[in-house]
Structure 1
């Protein structure tokens, strides 16, 4: 017997659901969308009833997607993104080209802004940052036209509806304070920094650091308590430790830190993700490859 579901007639519940997954809080969604919290709750309850599944788990500190909600989320994002594009198209029947770009944090610091500057007659663009797996999901769902991602641990997810093209291999380097004892060296070994306190912002970078240390039979003191690359660099500048970063972020680093090359540096591959057939993005892909 076929299973049927009612189709929600309003976009508002979908928007509320996507925003709730992003913010993790119904009160934050209410503030962002200009609704009362009870109205947001009713909208999501309507969507859950129409789809026949519970989408959000209510917890003391907020909300999170249930397994069903996680399965629905990529489709919800795509629906909201397409509705936004439709609204822009209606407002401007002949709109200027617009590219929605995603990037991991390190690529958003220097690589992507530089590439967008080099594109001849550049289109209007918007950019968001996220993890590699989430960016690829957003490309597949149509929320993003293009994303710059890496194969740092746990690696690249593979899916048939997303085309991945290798851009370059990005060696990892060390950031130290400008007054560090090694700051005037051009190249250092991980053994030179064995007694340092290492600051990390993500599991992929931390895994590369431990892999390098293992080659030298070293155990490093590592704290992964910050969630943003620029915060990690700020802590280094203030003298709280040193950090592993990709060499490609060098042009965007602040003046009170030094970027040092590493002997036997681990490398991560940098890739561009698009949906197949997006030949209209070739100029931007070329600019990303010509990064210097």
Structure 2
């Protein structure tokens, strides 16, 4: 099995820890690191990872706004195994998780595991509330996937001029008739960001909701609804809404044995996260009016393509190929 790790670092504070992880990982998989870091850092990485991983630059012909997608597509083209894991640089697999991923890829084109934070500072528990609410409704959006390489290449990769690239990949696989598995009990840890990075991601993550209009509308209604309740001094609906958020998060926490990896206090952050998303949703609307959300020195306008548009594109590809 191959393991594709796209990254672009501006500093090397995590180099020692990541190198130790790659050393352990290399016992189980062939690693391809697609590194878009500045030249000095790239060369330092090349020295550190020599013998542990194939270390390459993103294909210069790929110029998507979302640099991660450039790295993923480059890595998938270089992979030789049929079963490939794609993972962000903060994801930390172990041997049993990789073995299960390999087995699941025998019967699926895309496998969507469940991330959880390896440590739980306050901001990680806050962000975990989002994960738990997603699990309460169905499944979360992880920073890692298992993919069948032949299917990925056959569908032509996926569009990288979007912000919510994980959803774009999921929808593209579905549009091309791929089979997706969502094992809620395949838990893969990831390192929590520092508090500064956590705050910097709030509006960008809210912008992702433009790809899910019903969800966006729900969160845009939070602030007006709260203001109405406060002005009329009707606090019962506020308490009921907060309680419902906690209950749904707790349901997500307990699904598929999640209590083993998600701290109980994370459910209590659910009302806080909903309020945050209510505020940041409006900030995301402002960003959309201004041409998109800032990301890696550019503005990205589209969160992700709709399922309908991706199906049309997939149908066009099949017609050109003479299939169907």
Instruction: State if a TM-score over 0.5 links the two structures.
Output: no
**In proportion to residue count, which structure has more strand?**
1
Larger Rg: 1
TM-score by length of 1: 0.31
Q: TM-score, normalised by structure 2?
A: 0.29
